[in-house]
Amino acid sequence: MSEIFTLSALWRYPVKSLRGQRCERLAIGPRGPVHDREWMLVDESGHFLTQRQQPRMAQIAVALEDDALVFDAPGRPSLRVARAGTGERLPVQVWNDRLEAQGMDPAADAWLSDFLGQPCRLVHFPDDTRRPVDPHYAQADDQVGFADGFPLLLISQAALDALNQRLDEPVDMRRFRPNLVVSGCAPHAEDDWRRIRIGGLTFRVVKPCSRCPIPGLDPETGEKRGRVLETLMQYRRGEDNKIYFGQNLLHDGCGELAVGMPVEVLE
C-alpha cells in the first residue's frame, strides 16, 4: 500500500533569484510551474545573475499581474513593466547552457541596475525556445526554463523542522526556495522517493538538490545570518562534500496543483 502525505505549500519564482510568491494553486506546464523562472537578470556578457553574486537581489519583490511585472525594493518607487519581451533576441547563459532570450523594457534594466549597483538586463524566456534537462536524469521531452537545472524542487516540512531543532535561530522555508512542500512524512523521507502522484499528475524524483550559499542568506535582506550551512554540513554532507537538502523532480504531463492535495508515494 502506498504512503499518502499532504501538499502543504506551493511556491513560484517569476524572476530567477528574486523573491518568490506563495500560491494556493499552481499550474504545471511543459517547463514546470507556469511563470516560474520565466524571467531572469543577466550581466553585460549575458551570464545569469543570482544572489550568489548579488545578495541584494533578495530584497527585490516581484508581483505577477495579467499583463505586467511589478517590482518593489527598499527605498525605490515601484516599477511596472509589460510582461512580454520586446522581440529583441540576445544570447544568454545559465550554467553551461547557452540559449536565446528576449530583452525587456529598458526601464526595468535601468531600475534593476541602479538598485543592484551594476549593469544588468531583465530577459524573458521565449515561448519558442526549448532548454532540455540534463539527459543523465531526464527523458528526451523533459525541459526547463531559467531554473538552475530542473523544473521542480520538493522539500518536506519535517526536513526543515529537523534543521530548526539544531539551530539557535530557526529559519523558514524561503531559505531553500522550493516549489512544493510536503507535510506528514518523516524528515528527509523524500530522499527515498522515486515516483509520486499529486492530484492528476505524477512526478519522477530524480536527483537530490546540492545547496549553494543562498540558504545561508536572510531572505529579507540578503545578508548572511545564522549557521544554516554549517549546521547542515554536520549531518547532510554527501561523499562529494556537498550539502544535500530537498529533491529535484521531473513531471509527466501538465495540470494544476493545489495546497491540501494528497501526495501519494508510488515508488
What is the tens place of the pLDDT at every residue in 92-116? 999 999 999 999 999 999 999 999 9
Q: For the chain, which domains are there?
A: 3-265 (2.40.33.20)
The pLDDT > 90 percentage for the chain reads 97
Given pLDDT bands bounded at 50, 70 and 90, which one contains residue 1?
low
Q: Is the pLDDT of residue 218 over 90?
A: yes
- Beta strand ranges found along 46-158 (DSSP E): 61-64, 68-72, 79-82, 89-94, 97-103, 121-124, 152-156
The C-alpha atoms of residue 21 and residue 64 are separated, in whole angstroms, by 9
Q: pTM of the prediction?
A: 0.96
Sign, CA torsion 235/241/242/248: negative
Please give the pLDDT value at position 53. Answer: 94
Helix axes 228-235, 157-164, angle to 10 degrees: 100
Distance separating alpha carbons of residues 91 and 99, to the nearest angstrom: 6
Average pLDDT over residues 184-197: 98
Query: How far is Cα 154 from Cα 78, in angstroms, rounded to an integer?
Result: 32
pLDDT classification of 87: cutoffs 50, 70, 90: confident
Cα separation, 183 vs 134, whole angstroms: 29
